[in-house]
C-alpha cells in the first residue's frame, strides 16, 4: 500500500534535508530535495536515512546506553509524551530520568535547567567573528541551551545542532519551541522584537557530519570531547566543514581540576589520571567520560590547517556562576582578573575546572 503524503508535509520534510550531504566519506552525495518520506536512502551509496521524532537522522550507530533502534523508539516516545501532555523541556527530562533511574538525575536536571545561561559565555566568544546571516554548528548540542542562547543574541544566524542521542534532540526541540524558535518561522520573542531564527536539529555522529566542505563560519562544542573515543577524528571532520578563516571553540571539564567532574564521577586528586577513570567500572552501569587537559586538546590541532590555536580558561559569565552555586557570582571578578594575568591564566588553564580552546581555520586548505 502506497501512502501519499500531503503536499504541506512533503515540503516540510524536504526542507529538513536542504543542504545536507550523505555522511559517508566515500560518498558525500547532496541530499537536497531527494527525500519525500520518513524513510529513504542515499541515492548513491544506499545508506539509510530517516526521520526520528520529525528530525533528520543520518546515524548508523547510537551512544553507549542504547542500541540504535531502541534509542530511536525512546526518542519517539518522548516526542509523543511531550505533544500529548504539553510537557516543558525540563519536565520531559524528568520523565526521561524517571525511566532510566539514573542516580545522577538531580545533578543533570540542574545542569539542563542552567544550560542556556551557561552558553551565554560561549556565544559571546563567536559573536564578533560570525558575519550577518552566518552559519554556526554545535556538535553535541544536547538539550539545546547554546542554540537558544545564540538565537536570542543573533536572530540572523543559521544554527545547526547535532547530537548522537536523538532523545536529547527531542528535549532540545521542546526547549526551542517554548522560546518561540521554530525553524524557518517568524516568531515574536522576549520583549516584543521579531526574529527569524533558522534552527535545525540533526541526529548524526560527530565523526561523520552531513554537511558540505567549508559550510560553517564557526563550530562550537561544550562538554563533548570527554565523550569521544577518538577526538582527533572529530577535529579532522571539523576541519572539513568549517570554512577557511572560520573558528572552532571547544569547552570541556579539565582532567586536572580539583572539583568533582560534572558527570558525577569523582576525580582523582593525582595530576595523572588513573586508567579506571577512562573506562566503565564493573560496579557501575554508567560509562565514565574521559576528561582531557587543554594541552591534550591543543595537540589534536597540530596541523597547518589551523592558523591559530589558543587554550585558556573558559569565558564563563557572572550570571551562570550565580546559578551554579550560592555566592559563586562573587568569584567572577576574581576569576576575570586572574584570566588577565599571564601566570594565573596559565594556572587556571592547567588546573581550572573548565578550559577553552579556540582554533582558527587557515585561509589555505592544507592537511585535507
Render pLDDT for 319-350 as a digit per residue (tens, 0 to 9): 777 666 555 666 777 777 777 888 888 888 88
pLDDT confidence of residue 259: 59
Q: Counting Cβ atoms within 10 Å, is residue 356 exposed (0-12), middle (13-18) or buried (19+)?
A: buried
What is the extent of the structural domain holding 173? 106-280+290-361
pLDDT confidence of residue 10: 37
Please report whether residue 15 resides in a domain: no
The CATH number for 241's domain is 3.40.50.150
User: What averages of pLDDT result for each successive group of 10 residues across the chain (368 residues)?
Assistant: 38 59 91 55 86 92 92 95 93 91 83 89 92 96 95 92 96 91 45 56 96 97 92 95 96 78 47 38 60 91 89 81 62 76 85 90 70
Please count the structural domains in the chain: 1
- Can you tell me the distance from the alpha carbon of 65 to that of 227, in angstroms, rounded to the nearest whole number? 12
pLDDT confidence of residue 329: 61
Cell of residue 332, nine digits: 567572577
Please report whether residue 54 resides in a domain: no
pLDDT confidence of residue 217: 98
pLDDT confidence of residue 322: 65
Please report whether residue 99 resides in a domain: no
Cell of residue 350, nine digits: 592547567
- The set of residues, in sequence order, having a beta carbon less than 8 Å from that of 356 and lying 6+ positions away, is 125, 249, 250, 251, 294, 311, 312, 313, 314, 315
What dihedral angle (degrees, nearest 10) is formed by the CA atoms of 339, 345, 350, 356?
40
CB burial of 286-305 (b: ≥16 within 10 Å; e: otherwise) equals bbbbbbbbbebbbebbeeeb
Please report whether residue 101 resides in a domain: no
pLDDT confidence of residue 14: 38
pLDDT confidence of residue 101: 79
Please report whether residue 33 resides in a domain: no
Please report whether residue 242 resides in a domain: yes
Please report whether residue 24 resides in a domain: no
- Can you tell me the distance from the alpha carbon of 38 to that of 41, in angstroms, rounded to the nearest whole number? 10
21-34: pLDDT as tens digits: 999 988 998 886 44
CB burial of 75-94 (b: ≥16 within 10 Å; e: otherwise) equals bbbbbebbeeeebebbebbb
pLDDT confidence of residue 303: 81
- The set of residues, in sequence order, having a beta carbon less than 8 Å from that of 79 and lying 6+ positions away, is 53, 54, 170, 173
pLDDT confidence of residue 4: 40
Please report whether residue 298 resides in a domain: yes
Amino acid at each position: 500500500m502506497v501512502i501519499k503524503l500531503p503536499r504541506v508535509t512533503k515540503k516540510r520534510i524536504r526542507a529538513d534535508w536542504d543542504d545536507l550531504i550523505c555522511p559517508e566519506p566515500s560518498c558525500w552525495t547532496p541530499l537536497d530535495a531527494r527525500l519525500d518520506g520518513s524513510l529513504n536512502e542515499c541515492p548513491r551509496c544506499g545508506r539509510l536515512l530517516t526521520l526520528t521524532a520529525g528530525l533528520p537522522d543520518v546515524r548508523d550507530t547510537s551512544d553507549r546506553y542504547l542500541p540504535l533502534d531502541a534509542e530511536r523508539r525512546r526518542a519517539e516516545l518522548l516526542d509523543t509524551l511531550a505533544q500529548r501532555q504539553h510537557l516543558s523541556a525540563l519536565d520531559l527530562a524528568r520523565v526521561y530520568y524517571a525511566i532510566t533511574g539514573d542516580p545522577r538525575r538531580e545533578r543533570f536536571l540542574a545542569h539542563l535547567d542552567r544550560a542556556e545561561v551557561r552558553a551565554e559565555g560561549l556565544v559571546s566568544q563567536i559573536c564578533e567573528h560570525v558575519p550577518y546571516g552566518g552559519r554556526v554548528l554545535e556538535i553535541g548540542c544536547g538539550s539545546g541551551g547554546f542554540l537558544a542562547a545564540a538565537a536570542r543574541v543573533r536572530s540572523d544566524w543559521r544554527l545547526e545542532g547535532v547530537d548522537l542521542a536523538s532523545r536529547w534532540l527531542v528535549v532540545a526541540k521542546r526547549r526551542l519551541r517554548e522560546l518561540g524558535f521554530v525553524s524557518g518561522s517568524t516568531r515574536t520573542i522576549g520583549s516584543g522584537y521579531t526574529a527569524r531564527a533558522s534552527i535545525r536539529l540533526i541526529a548524526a555522529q560527530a565523526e561523520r557530519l552531513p554537511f558540505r566542505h567549508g559550510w560553517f563560519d564557526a563550530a562550537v562544542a561544550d562538554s563533548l570531547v570527554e565523550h569521544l573515543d577518538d577526538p582527533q577524528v572529530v577535529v579532522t571532520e571539523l576541519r572539513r566543514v568549517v570554512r577557511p578563516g572560520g573558528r572552532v571553540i571547544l569547552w570541556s571539564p579539565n582532567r586536572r581540576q580539583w572539583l568533582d567532574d560534572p558527570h558525577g564521577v569523582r576525580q582523582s586528586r593525582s595530576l595523572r589520571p588513573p586508567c579506571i577513570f577512562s573506562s566503565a567500572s564493573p560496579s557501575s552501569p554508567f560509562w565514565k567520560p574521559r576528561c582531557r587537559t587543554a594541552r591534550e586538546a591543543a595537540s589534536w590541532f597540530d596541523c597547518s590547517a589551523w592558523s591559530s590555536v589558543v587554550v585558556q580558561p573558559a569565558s564563563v559569565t557572572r550570571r551562570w556562576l550565580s546559578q551554579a552555586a550560592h555566592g559563586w557570582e562573587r568569584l567572577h571578578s576574581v576569576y576575570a582578573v586572574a584570566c588577565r594575568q599571564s601566570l594565573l591564566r596559565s594556572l587556571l588553564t592547567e588546573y581550572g575546572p573548565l578550559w577553552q580552546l579556540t582554533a582558527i581555520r587557515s585561509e589555505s586548505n592544507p592537511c585535507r
